[in-house]
Amino acid sequence: MTIPGPIDPPARLLMGPGPISAYPSVLRAMSAPLVGQYDPFMTHAMGETQELYRQVWGTTNDATVLIDGTSRAGIEAALVSLIRPGDRVLVPVFGRFGHLLAEIAERALAEVHTIETAWGQVFAPSAIEEAIVRVRPTLLALVQGDTSTTMNQPLGDIGAICAKHGVLFYSDATASLGGNDFEADAWGLDAATAGLQKCLGGPSGSAPLTLSERAVEVVRSRSKIEAGIREDGDASASDFVRSNYFDLGMILDYWGPRRLNHHTEATSMLYAARECARVLLLEGRDAAIERHRVAGAAMLAGVEALGLVVFGDVAHKMNNVVAVEIPEGVPGDAARQALLEDFGIEIGTSFGPLHGRVWRIGTMGYNARKDAVLTTLAALEAILRRFGAAVPAGAGVEAAADVFAGRG
């Protein structure tokens, strides 16, 4: 074979639903030299990363770690460690990622019950409580932000409902964390997971996770120590987690003071995750969320000013992504391709019932910026015009600029 040259990606402004362009300092962090997995520098960096993510999550949970894999790995680690085969699990589904939680819970042999709402809507807390009363689950698994519909499910009242009914409360905050409010402790979360490739502005491949003490107890009650490193006196549960890689008991023993060998921590991804949190906290968590709010509002104003119809319940939209109906007569994929090829700008297609009907445009992480928003709107206007849509000249850019200027 001919051996290809060094990786040399084209210039891209990633304005889809994620992954998005990483913060430059996150990319730089990944090129830092490796150290050994028990090097004092490494264990210190792991500890710093835990502390940084406690701030990001809004928690004092000791059990705040990274899972070495994509955001989906974090979801599976939480679910497979918390669900015993046969457990009843309730999953309110308001988009693709609710289906994913249900599917992962099924793989963990849960008895899965779902409630569904139309794509583009969220659930009222009362609907979730009603289902909890009916299903009597051990675990509620609820997506916060589902990029497939752009909706942001309010979580503020759910923790108290779960506590009242003795239900563990897990949320998948992959798409929302860092760009929308999330308060793990104040909202009564028992488990939450995320990824770096959305509002945290890093690459996919590391999944922040946090567990309450109650969740840790469940995980610990199923703990198992590998035969190859087990010592006399170590217990090994028979009710074990049906995964070694995702056994949170083992993962906590690796991150915790025992430092029991499990996987070899993905050093470069740890560096990336650490830098993502560092960038967020240097800006200030609330300031970063506000930046996402403004950028999202500007993009929303811009697409509306271009005459595009926004999909879903805008009052419950995530800050960081908007879905717009593809105008009648415009070939959605060809237009997206032209935007990519001629402007280097990526926007997203859609899944399931929205496939071919809407585009999804993101404003997250590093790209929740004025220049990124205005550039995208200018390019989108040009592409829409090229494909025959009637668009008011300059209106998208002006409307967005007004929002950034505080006039929106």
Site for a copy of itself in 113-152 (CB under 8 A): 148
Tell me which stretch binds a copy of itself (CB under 8 A): 69-77, 121-129, 289-297, 310-318: 69-77
Among 218, 272, 299, 391, binds a copy of itself (CB under 8 A): 272
Of the two residues 197 and 212, which places its CB atom closer to a copy of itself in the complex? 197
Of the two residues 157 and 226, which places its CB atom closer to a copy of itself in the complex? 226
Instruction: Return the number of other C-beta atoms located less than 10 Å from residue 320's C-beta.
Output: 32
Rounded Cα–Cα distance for residues 256 and 233 (Å): 19
Return the amino acid letter for 256. Answer: G
Torsion of CA 27, 29, 31, 33, to 10 degrees: -170
Q: Measured from the CB of residue 390, what is the shortest distance to a copy of itself in angstroms?
A: 29
Residues 201-220 contacting a copy of itself, CB under 8 A: 203-205
Q: Measured from the CB of residue 240, what is the shortest distance to a copy of itself in angstroms?
A: 7
Among 239, 258, 264, 287, binds a copy of itself (CB under 8 A): 264
Among 156, 166, 352, 388, binds a copy of itself (CB under 8 A): 352
Q: Measured from the CB of residue 39, what is the shortest distance to a copy of itself in angstroms?
A: 7
Number of alpha carbons in the 13 Å side-chain half-sphere of residue 375: 20
Q: Measured from the CB of residue 382, what is the shortest distance to a copy of itself in angstroms?
A: 20
Of the two residues 144 and 197, which places its CB atom closer to a copy of itself in the complex? 197
Of the two residues 272 and 289, which places its CB atom closer to a copy of itself in the complex? 272
Asked whether position 48 contacts a copy of itself by CB under 8 A, the answer is yes
Asked whether position 267 contacts a copy of itself by CB under 8 A, the answer is yes
Asked whether position 271 contacts a copy of itself by CB under 8 A, the answer is yes
Q: Which residues contact 5 (CB under 8 A, 6 or more apart)?
A: none
Among 160, 266, 338, 395, binds a copy of itself (CB under 8 A): 266
Tell me which stretch binds a copy of itself (CB under 8 A): 18-26, 131-139, 183-191, 285-293: 18-26
How far apart, in Å, are the Cα atoms of 64 and each of 148, 180, 224?
27, 19, 20
CB 191 within 8 A of CB 170: yes
How far apart, in Å, are the Cα atoms of 80 and each of 88, 124, 243, 303?
13, 27, 7, 41
Residues 176-195 contacting a copy of itself, CB under 8 A: 195
Rounded Cα–Cα distance for residues 131 and 158 (Å): 12
Classify residue 285 as exposed, middle or buried by CB count within 10 Å of its CB (0-12, 13-18, 19+): middle
Phi then psi dihedrals of residue 69, to 5 deg: 170, -175
Q: Which residues contact 4 (CB under 8 A, 6 or more apart)?
A: none
Of the two residues 227 and 235, which places its CB atom closer to a copy of itself in the complex? 227
Asked whether position 28 contacts a copy of itself by CB under 8 A, the answer is yes
Q: Which residue has the tokens 């560092």?
A: 278
Q: Measured from the CB of residue 355, what is the shortest distance to a copy of itself in angstroms?
A: 9
Asked whether position 43 contacts a copy of itself by CB under 8 A, the answer is no
Q: Which positions from 218 to 257 touch a copy of itself by CB under 8 A, shown as an x/- string?
A: ------x-xxxx----------xxxxxxxx----------
The first and second tokens of residue 280, run together, are 């967020």
Distance of CA 120 to the CA centre of its chain: 18
By DSSP bridging, strand 139-143 and strand 111-116 are unpaired
